[in-house]
Structure 1
Amino acid sequence: MRRPADDVFWARVGWFLASRQAVLLEERHVGNAARWHRLEAHSLDAVRARLAPRARLAVWPDLSTDVGAVLADLPEEGLIELVWEDEHGRIASIVADSDETEFAELVAHVSGARAAAVLSLFVDERQPLMTAVLPDEDGVLRARWQTEPTADDREWAFLTTLRRGQICTGTVVAMPDFGVTFVDIGGFTAMVNLPEVSWRRIDHPSDVLTVGQEVTAEILDVDLVRQRVPLSIKSQEEDPLRVIAQQVGRIVTGPVTRLTPSGVYVRIEDRDDGIEGLLQHIEPAGTPMMDRPEEGVQVGDLLTVRIIGVDPENRRIRLSRAATGCSGGSGRAADVVARTFRP
């Protein structure tokens, strides 16, 4: 797998810098010659401009400032790469044997160093944050480096196969208290924000989902920089408001669920998680106070209302008082209200 050092890669590097996870860049060329660069947000473009074509890049966390501990943890034998930053801020590296014969030489190299680190020379033991390959001067990626992809590289490769609007299946793996649902979609953990779980009002994803449940969802976006994939489960279900939109004019009786300054909310479906509509405080002039919907109504009271408008995009349902056959009624749905109280 060859990850190109393109604009997405550098944006990802910038994201690592912003989250204080990455500060060093290894630039390696054919013949194993290497240069090291300290990365900072304000100088990232300047570092990028100095890199040579066809180089293999590796992004690393910072060196350890406890140089003595780094030397104490050297393996008893075997080749290692020692990286250090001297008192002038220059970063260098040397490949050496960590046995006693070369230990003194390694100590001399890091004498007075600000920070240091020991890296394995075995590909499967080197653990950079991410890797990439620079293209040739004409912009074509031709260099064929044999590298062990990092976890970040593998996730990038998987994300490049996804597209916005794509339908995928996955398994619910976690539903923490803050309301986000995490779904494994084949080796990558995507997320479903609470409003995208269900069309109906829920307090927590566990109201309708369980860990281990298989779900079908739509990919809302593929963020290669932050490596996030938001999903929508509800998009694969029928929107109940679009069903109710076909029932404008229907008269229903339902319980009051909420009292607000703008009006009374009434549940218009016969189920515990039924859709609510708003009966607004709008009455024709001269309406007696006791005939207004807000007077004497409590949560749980039953009201008989008419569905007069449905706006699926803004998730709104407007209700009015259902005509009760009284003479002189205005007949205007937005102004006519009736109530049925519990005995």
Structure 2
Amino acid sequence: MTAVHLPHVYRVTKYDPADRDEHGHYTGTESTASDHGAVEAAYLRAVEAFAAETGVGRLAVREPQVPSLAHFGGEPALPGFGLDALFPDGLTSLHDGAEVPLGTGLEMVRFMLRDAGVWCRLEVADVFAVHVGWDQYLYVGSDRPCEEAVTRTAALGLFAERCAASPYAVEEEEDGRVQVPADDEFWARVHRAVADGEAGLLEETFVAGAERWHRLTPETVDAVRAGLVPRACLALWPDLSTDVTAVLAGLPADGLVEGVWQEPDGRIRNAVVDESGFAELAVRMSAATAATLLSVYADERVPLLTAVLPDGDGVVRARWRS
């Protein structure tokens, strides 16, 4: 694989290089968590300085992801991962390639510094990139040196260290695999599979860890296609089973499993759980009109068809693999 790099990359942190050992490991006393205060604000101002010097006012969200494991009971997760305040439709507004103003991008950096559950790359192709890693490590890449931003970062009390590349830079595949576009040919295959009774469920992954599920009939395929989130990864599955009791009898003794079920009101729900959540999952699915269980392990999760939605010009620009 070959990584995609910008020519000028800086590691921006609150960690003084003087407090690193001969292996580059930090040995000082700074906390690895965000202070939710002045230091966090300094990170955001540093990113803003690099963006300004690069001439960037908007950023593209790339490869967004959220945690997928469901948690029943206990303290509830933040609704919509806090994205309702940033996007008109909350989480469903977040997808690969979505463009956001710099201010919104900075708020997403804040979420990532706080490890709030949402993660993505923020980029302008071949021009600028912001990647947030573990333990308050932030990487900024630009097509220019950004010497003024480096000086500004130091004035903010942070350290901007030049590095060869961001460890979170995307790597282009060189294994010969080709992404299958969800084009007219793909949808013709979907129509045939649904009409023949081989398929009846479409999984739409618009953010890694977040999916929407659509039950298909020959009459609804085109309407579902028209309402999909841009650049979504699609997987076609056999239809849900109306024998919910038999489906629940297939729960494994342990491990991870994804339950997908249709509520009496027609809405389709899903949850990924481990054995600690099987009992609650069974309770939730017991009132369903139809359901299925799917493995979450890659070698066992084999849909009938997969594809990635192309952009309006027919080009697949999403970098994830179906």
TM range (shorter): 0.3 to 0.5
Q: Which has the higher contact order (CA 8 A, sep 6+)?
A: 2
Which protein is bigger by CA-based radius of gyration? Answer: 1
Q: TM-score, normalised by structure 2?
A: 0.43
